[in-house]
Amino acid sequence: MSTRMASQHKWIYVGAIVLLVAMVVVGLLTFTQQHATNESFRKADELISKLQADGYPTPDREQVARTLGTDGGAVCEDPASSLKTGLQRVQMSNGAAGPGQRPVIVAARTVQAEALVLSVYCPDQLDDYQEKIEDIKTDDTVRN
């Protein structure tokens, strides 16, 4: 009878240990997720305050946090690459297609908005981006 009781106690101890390990894992995952969420909101707040200071319209805080996360997402994936520079230049055109498409003089604020995002989410890539946009012809083309 004592061996039977010892066997039952063994399963209670094993069950308690498994339950404790599961609770620790869930706790760590929750803490890590909450930390990432807090960090993404902190960076979103920083970006929004920089946008407001420069007179840009400000997006929704939660949308910025979800879209850019803690690392800037797609914005910070080699922003000075030839492909992204080419796509940016195509977007700065007159809107025509094919042979009618022409580059236009864009508002300086247009290309500087991305620099603000880079300064918050990936400041190490900001200098390369600014070198790439130096030769873009800009002017005050947008009226307030």
- Number of compact structural domains in the chain: 2
pLDDT for res 5: 64
Flag whether pLDDT at 108 surpasses 70.
yes
Q: Are residues 63 and 75 in the same domain?
A: no
Q: Are residues 7 and 36 in the same domain?
A: yes
Q: Are residues 84 and 47 in the same domain?
A: no
Cβ–Cβ < 8 Å for 108, 139: yes
pLDDT (tens digit, 9 = 90+) per residue, 64-87? 988 888 888 888 888 888 888 788
pLDDT for res 123: 92
Q: Are residues 56 and 81 in the same domain?
A: no
Q: Are residues 45 and 105 in the same domain?
A: no
Helix, strand, or coil (residue 129) = helix
The domain of 116 spans 71-144
Q: Are residues 58 and 89 in the same domain?
A: no
Q: Are residues 92 and 40 in the same domain?
A: no
Q: Are residues 111 and 140 in the same domain?
A: yes
Q: Are residues 75 and 63 in the same domain?
A: no
Q: Are residues 17 and 54 in the same domain?
A: yes
Concatenate the DSSP letters of all residues of 24-75 into one string: HHHHHHHHHHHHHHHHHHHHHHHHHHHHHHTT-----HHHHHHHHTTT-GGG
Q: pLDDT band at residue 10, thresholds of 50, 70 and 90?
A: confident
Residues of the chain with pLDDT > 70, as a percent, come to 88
Cβ-based neighbours of 12, under 8 Å, separated by 6 or more: none
Q: What's the whole-number mean pLDDT along residues 94-113?
A: 82
Cβ–Cβ < 8 Å for 78, 84: yes
Q: Write down which residue in 19, 40, 68 finishes a domain.
A: 68
Q: Are residues 144 and 94 in the same domain?
A: yes
Q: pLDDT band at residue 2, thresholds of 50, 70 and 90?
A: low
Cβ–Cβ < 8 Å for 112, 51: no
Q: What's the whole-number mean pLDDT along residues 26-53?
A: 82
